[in-house]
Amino acid sequence: MTNHRAIALVFALHGAVAGSLSTRIPWLQGHLDLTPAVLGLILLCQPVGAFVAMPMATRMAHRLGGRTATRLLLALWCACLALPALAPSPVWLAGVFLVFGMAAGTCDVVMNSQALVLERRLGRSIIAGLHGMWCVGSLAAGGVGVLAAHLGIDARMHLAVVSVVLLGLGGLAGRGLLANQSSEGVPAPRRFALPSRAILAVGLVGFCGTFAEGASANWAAVYVTAVASAGPGVAAATYTVFMLCMAATRLIGDRFVRRMGAVAVVRVGGIVAAAGGVLVVAGRTPWLCMAGFALVGVGVAVVVPLVFAAAGDVGDTPGEGIAGVATITYLSGLIAPAVTGWAAGALSYPAAFAMITAIVAVMTLLAGALRPRSRAGAEEGRRLERVAG
């Protein structure tokens, strides 16, 4: 297995764990008799765990090596999939989701660092396609989860079996990852690598993109139901179309990055997403709103991958830069659904998505922060600018 295929499989497996669990949340709610408020607090534990743990991931990778750290954290992430269904009470479930988030966040940082190192070796953009593979893994595993739920398979059995399968595939993927690089003579990263000033501008672009992505993913179905009077089937299809557009754009996004450069791609994507936001706000029929959310998905799809790639050029090490930016983007993902809900409640759903459209416009204006700063990255950026005209 080539290095590229191995890291692509890692991304797909990471997404598969998330997709598998998401389909069994209703089972967890019914099994433990959770109210919506309690379930919301428990689900909040996952991003909180990720937010707390991610800044420490680079030090782990420094001590163990990137390949070893990725293999261990991916195994932990896959193994954690079996735990939520075994929780005997809401308190235990909250603790499990906290650990679940810590495993997810630290694995996210080290696998993106591995991807960036490989991207530099190959001399071409691959990061968007890898994030596309994450979407593919999530959608495929989600489909399996929907089928398992439809057949009435107990979630404990379903998640345990999937966990074992993913662990086996993770072991296979780990064999093909880049070999550990010697850390001799390389200073150890800080124990808790909070974002530095140098990556705040890059992180702000990611914050805006993640905000639009998280708000749309969480509220698209609700929006078309409340504003456009869509039925349950159309509402579910709106979310699915949004996710499929994101996945497809990520899978082909690297081609555009190679031709145009990251800055131009994010700016064009921002314009597309803003146009989609306007259509969402102005549309009052389910199909217009669905088309708007599809454009938002296309427009923001490659923002986070390209932000991670830019962060690798800005930080003292690729891993430290990615950890700093990942902390900011996870913070955005943590607050976006809640802020959108508050805005919709205080004003209206169209007003809330008008706010999101404005955030996308800010992202478009700040896209210049993704211009390569390392020598190798700068040379590639100048080459792309010459090719683009």
In angstroms, the CA 50 to CA 113 distance is: 16
Distances (CA, A) of 12 to 78, 111, 213, 301: 12, 11, 19, 16
pLDDT value at 94 more than 90: yes
Give the lowest-confidence range in 55-59, 63-67, 72-76.
55-59
Question: Which of 46, 21, 34 is closest to 337 using CA atoms?
Answer: 46
Indicate whether 383 pLDDT > 50: no
Closest CA to 100 of 42, 59, 153, 161: 42
Give the mean model confidence (pLDDT) for residues 195-220.
Answer: 87
Decide if pLDDT at 277 tops 90: yes
| Mean pLDDT (whole number) for 207-222 | 90
> Model confidence over 297-355: pLDDT tens digits?
999 999 999 998 888 777 666 667 787 888 888 888 878 888 888 899 889 999 999 99
What is the average per-residue pLDDT within 183-206?
69
Q: Which residues contact 118 (CB under 8 A, 6 or more apart)?
A: 3, 4, 7, 126, 178
Between 324 and 15, whose confidence is greater? 15
Q: What integer pLDDT is reported at residue 19 of this predicted model?
A: 86
∠ CA 224-132-282, rounded to 5°:
25
**Which residue intervals of 23-86 are DSSP H helices?**
25-31, 36-53, 57-64, 66-80
Instruction: With a cut of 90, say whether residue 47 has pLDDT above it.
Output: no
Average pLDDT over residues 181-208: 70
Tokens of 319: 């891993």
Least confident interval from 33-37, 87-91, 222-226 = 33-37
Q: Which domains does the chain have, with CATH numbers?
A: 3-175 (1.20.1250.20), 197-388 (1.20.1250.20)
Q: Is the pLDDT of residue 133 over 60?
A: yes
pTM assigned to the model: 0.83
B/e letters for 239-266, b = 16+ CB within 10 Å, e = fewer, are bebbbebbbbbbbebbebbbebbbbbbb
Residue 384 predicted with pLDDT over 50: no
Q: Which pLDDT belongs to residue 280?
A: 95
d(CA 345, CA 321): 37
Q: Are 126 and 306 in contact (CB under 8 A)?
A: no
Could you write out the DSSP letters of every residue in 277-333? Answer: HHHHHH--SHHHHHHHHHHHHHHHTTHHHHHHHHHHHHSSSHHHHHHHHHHHHHHHH
pLDDT at residue 385 greater than cutoff 50: no
Q: For 227-248, what is each residue's pLDDT tens digit?
A: 998 888 888 788 889 989 999 9
Mean pLDDT over residues 125-150, rounded?
89
Is 262:310 a contact under the CB 8 Å cutoff?
yes
Cβ pair 47, 101 in contact under 8 A: yes
| Averaged confidence pLDDT in the chain | 86
Q: How confident is the model at residue 275 (pLDDT cuts 50, 70, 90)?
A: very high
The C-alpha R_g of the chain, in whole angstroms, comes to 20
CB 216 within 8 A of CB 291: no
Higher pLDDT, 387 or 182: 182
In Å, how far are 4, 135, 154, 162 from 199, measured between CA atoms? 27, 26, 45, 37
Q: Tell me how far apart the alpha carbons of residues 308 and 318 are, in angstroms, rounded to a whole number.
A: 9
| DSSP designation for 24 | T
Collapsed DSSP state (helix, strand, coil) of residue 372: coil
pLDDT at 181 over 70: no
Residue 96 has pLDDT above 60, yes or no: yes
Q: Which residue has the higher pLDDT, 188 or 142?
A: 142
Taking residues 59-75, what's their average pLDDT? 88
* Range scoring the smallest mean pLDDT among 93-97, 164-168, 174-178: 174-178
For the chain, count helices (H), then strands (E): 16, 0
254 in Cβ contact with 270 (< 8 Å): no
**183 confidence band (pLDDT: 50, 70, 90):** low
